[in-house]
Structure 1
Amino acid sequence: MMFPYLFSPLKLGTVEVKNRISFQPHLTNLAVGNLPSERQMYYWGERAKGGAGLIITEEMSVHPTDMAYEKLIDVYHPEVIPGFKKITDYVHQYDAKIFAQLNHNGQQGDGSISRLPVWAPSPMPDVLFRETPKEMEPEDIEEVARYFAKCAIHVREGGFDGIELQFGHSSLARQFLSPLTNFRSDEYGGSLENRMRAPLRFISAVRKAVGNDFTLGVRMCADEMIPGGLDLAQVQEICAGFETSGLIDFMDLSIATFYNLYLVEGSMHTPLGYTIPLAAGVREKIKLPVFCTGRINDPVMAEKVLANGQADMIGMCRGLICDPFLPKKAFEGRMDDIRYCIACNQGCIGRIGMNKLLGCVQNPAVGREKEWGEGTLEKAAVRKKVAIVGGGPGGMWAAKMAGRRGHDVTLFDRNEVLGGQVLTAMKGAGRDEFGVIIRNEKEQVDKAGAKVKLGVEVTIEQLLADKPDVVIVATGSVPKEHPVPGADGPAIYNVWQVLNSQPELGQTVCLIDYDGHQRAAATAEYLAIQGKKVHMITASLFIGAELGPTQDLYLTRQRLLQKGVTFTPDIAVMEVAGDAGAKVIKGFNVYSNAWDEWGPFDSVVLAMGQRVDDALYQSLKGKVKELYRVGDAVAPRKVDMAIWEGHKIGREI
């Protein structure tokens, strides 16, 4: 066996899981009416089918005052039990275990949904939600404990194998434990013993409700990573105290809080396995099984963590959102078939943060497993000759899906390698992992039987001569040539030119950012690393306006500022004037309407939008039986839509 540690069983309380891979809790927004849904059943079931030994549900709410998000399951209603039974029965058929995570978010919520005051240890607003909570009275603490117990009974009656209590990054329990959020002077505040009192009350209430023959564990924040908060040494003491109580069976770890959410949900700028030292530190102090989670997207890394004794269980979240069958593929030695998560955060965290349904850039089936999951793809009734023009993500996915359905597929691209705009995007500073999208799919296109012809500039005549039944145009988009007057003059370049051809730029560079995302930010950082003095101008409120939902904003701005990049927001650029070496930017403040000039600059770099490259599509209209276009050839967007549309068309033709 390639991974003897990863695929060995583990006892968690009274439950034995078949391997050391846990699908970790995360919001899905798939609940309906605050009750378990069929979509959740298929979603969690797909990961069980894919080989994960343990599934831990998203957090579920234990009390009416905890309504941090609109689509949480309210476990305190007995109506949840039938839905739970459907979910647990579905998961169990794949020899996986499933635990329910119970939580009260405390101050990390607001009353706009529940119309109730937010409860917390102390009347201190959360840094993200910013609502002043009610300081919980002792009777409130007892009420929450009773509700935890009631919910635990519903979980057990619903067929779950165990419970995980959320005491981690977003939880009332952590707020009691942390000196950063607990300023009480009664028996629930002050000393560590007192701060542990309420969390231990919650644990004991649940244990009494479910009995000693039911697995119970805690999700603990291993380090709040902020001055004045819990650090590893304090957490080691807390975990040892929980273990000594004899009430829990395992310790699952998270990191950070809403003060530093970019560490909770690390992007590709965060190192792989960045929480491993914390897990190892907790495991040194307790004998209970310890879970380690945090950008472990690779079975090789997971095996190493286990072999080194740094943890007992590997938590994978985004890795299994991206590829539910990662465990099965690893067990079977099919490493080349694994679709590796790149931590772009665009489809998962980025969507959830905007209150949308969970998604994944690389996995269009997320949340649609019933219709698009494993085993749903059917062979085409009629085999068609399919020509796909454009070898970026959209074209590759269309080729893969159509090939798997039995069509005769040929994929053309003018470049010598597949990848499209991803090949450019991955050259931005710290964005090389973005190229994994292409690495993940190249072999799958070949395995699907699609023929790939590179270095070919496809003409209409050539296509029509081949007499295809279907043509899919995936030719993408190109930068706008002159988005404002003067923008086509000397010493002016677009982002593509900078990243691909590396023109000779002067020492001072103005980057005009109408993107707000990585296209602009990663290019500015790329130039700053080269020692250029970069000045970014944007019409938005701030540089990186689109990076918040993906948890890239804080660290991106930090890196840019540390590298000397200057930010000027609120400016609508109307003209680029001057000669090479003395370029001047002219524009006005979008709020005051006051005009101004910036410069002189040696060079100007534009991130001012894309336009469709659809000439081939327009020329083919009415000349082939079936004509489609996908991705940026429809409208310039991000990679998730190119993959979504390529996948969908490939399934349907």
Structure 2
Amino acid sequence: MMFRYLFSPLKLGRVELRNRISFQPHLTNFAVDTLPSERHVHYWGERAKGGAGLIITEEMSVHPTDRAYEKLIEAFQPEVLPGFRKITDHVHAFGTRIFAQLNHNGQQCDGSLSRLPVFAPSPVPDPLFREIPKEMEPEDIEEVARYFAKSAVHVREGGFDGIEIQFGHSSLARQFLSPLSNQRQDAFGGSVENRMRAPLLFIAAVRKAVGDDFTVGIRLCADEMIPWGGLNLADVQDLAARFEASGLIDFMDLSVGTFYNLYLVEGSMHTPLGYTVPLAAGIRSKVKLPVFCTGRINDPVMAEKVLANGQADVIGMCRALICDPFLPKKAQEARLADIRYCIGDNQNCIGRIGMNKPLACIQNPAVGLEKKWGEGTSKPAPVKKKVMIVGAGPGGMWAAKMAGRRGHQVDLYEKNDQLGGQVLIAMKGSGRDEFGVLIRNEKDQVEKAGVNVHLGVEVTPDLVEREQPDVVICATGSVPARNPPIAGAKGPAIYDVWQVLLGKAELGQKVCLIDTDGHHRATATAEFIASQGKSVHILCSSLFVGAELGPTQDLYLTRQRLLQKGCTFTPDTVVIEIAGEAGAKVLKAINVYSNAMSELGPFDSIVLAIQQEVEDRLYKALKGKTKELYRIGDCVAPRKVDMAIWEGHKVGREI
């Protein structure tokens, strides 16, 4: 496919981009002592090497009161300059432009980190952080503007090509613009002109500091999406036209939502692809400046259509380029089948950042480790070996791909008739079909690596003895607990998640799902059952159903769908016994706080969404009998897919 629009140049102010793909700002938690680190250099450099036309850095703090997160870069500190220059020199070496995003988080800051009062337009606490801010005095606003200017000088001196000022979902500027967070009665509140006053001061300070020949833009929240107030698209169309008329900016990047609805800011696979395109089109219809569109655009074909339809001028890709930094280059070279498409699972990007861990990706183990594991770092094996890999789930496929690329003779065995392992089951859960892209992404890569794939073959110790491999990697996964730790949990009308999703469970109308997982394995199965018109009662010991889904931004929509489908939730409850006959199952349970005993039921059927156990019988049979023996993924301990891929990647690189 020819990408006429996606790979056409575009000028933003004085800067010309080689294409319309922007790697969008997002936290990395790579900063060290509030300064840029070597990890930043290679992380952003990898995306430049991969062909992005523009990189916009993560938000950089402009003021001591702005500490929403522990590991932010403080752009107002002069000590940032050496790190800035290393980053920009490295990125520029690949022909990519790089802008720095400057921000003050306002009410979304954390005084426990800064040990300073939180600044905001009004003393309205953020719904997530819940800290009551100090209402900024006029001199506070002027001071923040001066710090924006100070930071902007460091950005220009550090070799960046431009600045993006954050007026989007997480920003003091948006809080001034929104009547929901700005309840002031002075010159900085009330009318649109007054609410724009502080944001315009910030822009003007930056513009004066860097001059008219330096590119400056804003990231604007296109719609706060709050039913009880705040800014809607019509409001922001008016604001956009006013900001354009100021003559101070060169482009508008867009976001959506706020901390009231983070599931919109960081849409998961339960959010449609390209869900922000109509908003971008709405803003673009009112301004002449270039407009960016971002939000689950993970495919160059979709990106091309958005540009061709005139709905935006630049396509912002964030998770898509975290997952595959070389998506732009592959698209330009017509290698679409080689792209590793992001699935919006959010476990290792947004999920890790929210827990103050370094950024990662379930499908890209090299994230944050580009210097060690990035493109071109895998070397041919010094000794070519015969490698037998047992189990073709994600871990086995990654091990096979990496070992094959290094020149080993690799045979990948799978007892079922297709590649994929447990992913083939997980993707049957409601709303989880996109999870199957994990397998589509890797299937061709396994073949291109020269791997011999054997489907429908169950590997036994005798087969290993006959084949005489140099290396055996057991990626045999895990299975539902054979002896569930609940009295009476085996017998008629009691099923595990696999049986339900594979259509092997004869469920009655009234179903109870016992959840000790707290993740999609439980909730997606419950929704799968409820979608069949059955009554579903979910029991869990956690404070609430779906407790593990908060960091991935899946909690709100998951619970919404379950409740809309009539599911009943009973948290804080541990089931200690299942009694009764099929069609009349009764649960004996205990409340984890009051210790009160109760009985629930009767239920027609019981579904157990509880722990898995390792399938390591082959590994144990081979231990001490082969030259080299490894096990990876759930065969070591049942975990999530990220660890299977991580371990498969690692062993494939190292054998």
Q: Normalising to structure 1: TM-score of the pair? A: 1.00
Between the aligned partners of 2:483 and 2:195, the Cα distance in structure 1 is 61
Q: 1:582 aligns to what?
A: 584
Alignment of 1:236-275 (within 5 A): 236-275=237-276
> Which residue does the alignment assign to 2:609?
607
Q: Distance in 1 between matches of 2:205 and 2:87?
A: 25
- Partner residue, 1:95: 95
Counting only pairs closer than 5 Å after superposition, residues 425-464 of structure 1 correspond to structure 2 as 425-464=426-465
Which residue of structure 2 aligns with residue 229 of structure 1? 230
Per the alignment, residue 84 of structure 1 pairs with: 84
Equivalent runs, 1:426-575 vs 2, <5 Å? 426-483=427-484, 484-575=486-577
Q: By how many angstroms is 1:523 displaced?
A: 0.3
User: 1:551 Cα shift?
Assistant: 0.2
CA distance in 2: counterparts of 1:16 and 1:501, whole angstroms: 55
- 1:179: which partner in 2? 179
**Match of residue 323 from structure 1:** 324
Letter in 2 for 1:639: V
Alignment correspondent of 2:408:
407
Partner SS, residue 74 of structure 2: coil
What CA RMSD, in Å, does the superposition of the two structures yield over aligned residues? Answer: 0.6
Selected match of 1:631 from 629, 633, 637: 633
Secondary structure, counterpart of 1:411 in structure 2: strand
Question: Whole-Å Cα distance in 1 between the matches of residues 367 and 18 of structure 2?
Answer: 24
Deviation at 1:636, TM superposition (A): 0.3
Once the 2 structures are TM-superposed, how far is the Cα of residue 587 of structure 1 from its aligned partner?
1.3
Question: What CA distance in whole angstroms lies between the structure 1 residues aligned with 2:217 and 2:430?
Answer: 40
Q: How many angstroms apart in 1 are the aligned matches of 2:465 and 2:398?
A: 23
In 1, the alpha carbon distance for the partners of 2:483 and 2:472 equals 31
> SS of the residue aligned with 1:258?
coil
| Deviation of 1:431 (Å) | 0.4
Aligned to 1:8: 8
Distance in 1 between residues matched to 2:297 and 2:565, nearest whole Å: 29
Bigger drift between 106-115 and 160-169 goes to: 106-115
> Aligned equivalents of 2:112 and 2:505: distance in 1?
52
In 1, are the aligned partners of 2:531 and 2:565 still within 8 Å (CA)? yes
1:139 alignment counterpart: 139
Partner of 2:389: 388
Secondary structure of 2:106's match? Answer: coil
Aligned residue for 2:105?
A: 105
Q: Deviation at 1:485?
A: 1.3
Q: Matches of 2:107 and 2:443 in 1, distance apart?
A: 46
Whole-angstrom CA distance in 1 between matches of 2:355 and 2:523: 21
Q: Paired residue for 1:296?
A: 297
**Per-residue deviation, 1:445:** 0.3
Inter-partner Cα distance in structure 2 for 1:111 and 1:502: 53
1:363 and 2:364 matched = yes
In the TM superposition, residue 502 of structure 1 has moved relative to its aligned partner by: 3.7
Q: For residues 482 and 511 of structure 1, what CA distance do their matches in structure 2 show?
A: 17
Residue type matched to 2:473 in 1?
I
Taking the aligned partners of 2:355 and 2:563, their CA distance within structure 1 comes to 27
Number of aligned positions between the proteins: 653
Counterpart for residue 48 of structure 1: 48
Are the equivalent residues in 1 in contact too, given 2:65–2:109 (CA < 8 A)?
Answer: no
Q: How far 1:303 sits from its partner (Å)?
A: 0.1
What fraction of aligned residue pairs are identical, expressed as a percent? 77
In 1: Cα distance, 2:506 partner to 2:630 partner = 40
Taking structure 1 as reference, are residues 611 and 486 closer, same or farther at Cα in structure 2, changes over 3 Å only?
A: same
Inter-partner Cα distance in structure 2 for 1:426 and 1:502: 16
In 2, the alpha carbon distance for the partners of 1:282 and 1:257 equals 18
Query: Which residue of structure 2 aligns with residue 376 of structure 1?
Result: 377
Q: In the TM superposition, what is the alpha-carbon distance from 1:501 to its structure 2 partner?
A: 2.9
Counterpart residue number, 1:73? 73
Unaligned runs of 5+ in 2: none
Report what 1:207 is aligned to.
Answer: 207
* Deviation for aligned residue 1:343: 0.1
- Post-superposition CA distance 1:331-375 (Å, at most 9, x none): 000000000000000010000000000000000000000000000
Residue by residue over 1:265-292, the C-alpha shift from the partner in whole angstroms, topping out at 9 and shown as x without a partner, is: 0000000000000000000000000000
Q: Deviations over 1:502-543 (max 9, x none)?
A: 422100000000000000000000000000100000011110
Q: Distance in 2 between matches of 1:260 and 1:110?
A: 19
Letter in 2 for 1:343: G
Q: Could you tell me how far apart the structure 2 residues matched to 1:594 and 1:36 are?
A: 53
- Partner residue, 1:31: 31
The separation in 1 between residues aligned to 2:116 and 2:191, in whole angstroms, is: 30
Aligned position for 1:420: 421
Q: Supply the distance in 1 between the matched residues of 2:504 and 2:521 (Cα, whole angstroms).
A: 15
SS in 1 for 2:577: strand
Q: Give distance in 1, aligned partners of 2:395 and 2:255.
A: 35
3-state secondary structure, aligned to 1:463: helix
Q: Give distance in 1, aligned partners of 2:588 and 2:437.
A: 40
1:100 partner amino acid: A
* DSSP-derived class of the 2:447 partner: helix
CA distance in 2 between counterparts of 1:269 and 1:83 reads: 38
What per-residue deviation string (whole Å, max 9, x for no partner) do you get for residues 174-215 of structure 1?
000000000000000000110000000000000000000000
Which whole-Å CA distance do the structure 1 matches of 2:587 and 2:630 have between them?
A: 41
CA distance in 1 between partners of 2:408 and 2:579 (Å): 53
Determine the structure 2 residue equivalent to 1:592.
Answer: 594
Q: How far apart are residue 453 of structure 1 and its match?
A: 0.1
Structure 1 residue aligned with 2:117: 117
Q: Which residue of structure 2 aligns with residue 649 of structure 1?
A: 651
Q: Distance in 2 between matches of 1:166 and 1:127?
A: 19
Residue 196 of structure 1: SS of its match in structure 2? helix
Amino acid at match of 2:515: D
Counterpart-to-counterpart distance in 2, 1:504 and 1:487: 16
Query: Offset of 1:464 from its aligned partner?
Result: 1.6
